Amino acid sequence: MPVLYLIPVPVADDALHTLPARTIEIAQHLDTFIVERAKTARHFLKAAGIKRPLPEVEVTEIDDKDPIVASRALQSAFRSGKDVGLLSEAGCPGVADPGALVVEQAHQLGMRVQPLTGPSSILLALMAAGMNGQQFVFHGYLSPKRPELLRDLRRLEQAAERLDQTQIFIETPYRSKMVLEVALDALQPGTKFCIAQDITGANEMIRSLTIAQWKANPVSIQEKAPAVFLIYKKSGR
């Protein structure tokens, strides 16, 4: 039975060392890929030492607006009994990316779906935050506008306390500074707030403190590094 391999890609530059040998080996020996972005996928496959010349490797991009293209590529691989690799632009395919659609279709075709181990900035941030790892929720992106973001953050703070859940979200790198400013404004002094920037990268910065501690020890955060944000508040704290 053909297999759909879910192949994680490093989340920081030059961080191939975050992939297990087995994940790299499988990527090296496939010749059919469905990917979030063809350019970064080819770059990764080259760095990972793919065995075939790149022009002979079939790379199909997932088009959100026209999912039928990726769907046809998967079906045609399945019919010819070929294994397929699914690649995200960074991190784990199927998590905070459009790959889940391809995985869903693989199950419907009766393909075996095999997830491989690799870095996820969301999971690494959760590990490193020291919040509640027994119950947590990932929201993707919040509102990019200040007033709405402030409301969103307060809603998350309330949910954290009421449901005893770590609240996780992401934002585009250039908005990290704004998110920190709004968080310091929106959240209560005893609430825990974590920023994890450039995880596994050369400038990794993970800081998990209460809002009061953030205010007492201000730091300037990187403006261009990808970041994960986490909020937690124990009830009664």
* Binding-site ranges for its own copies (CB under 8 A): 6, 17-22, 92-97, 99-107, 112-115, 117-120, 123-140, 165, 199-200, 204, 206-209
Shortest reach from residue 204's CB to its own copies, in Å: 7
Q: If DSSP codes are grouped into helix, strand and coil, which group holds residue 161?
A: helix
Residue 186: which H helix or E strand, with range? helix 176-186
Q: How far is CA 128 from the centre of its chain?
A: 15
Measured from the CB atom, is 52 or 135 closer to its own copies?
Answer: 135
Least CB distance to its own copies at residue 56 (A): 27
Alpha-carbon distance of 38 to 130, in angstroms, equals 36
User: What is the closest distance, in whole angstroms, from the C-beta atom of residue 114 to its own copies in the complex?
Assistant: 7
Residue 197 beta carbon to its own copies: minimum distance, rounded to whole angstroms: 13
Beta bridge partners of 196: 206, 228
CA separation for the pair 102, 35 (Å, rounded)? 10
Nearer to its own copies, 49 or 52 (CB): 49
Nearer to its own copies, 176 or 208 (CB): 208
Secondary element (H or E) of residue 154: helix 146-163
Select 84 or 123, whichever has its Cβ closest to its own copies: 123
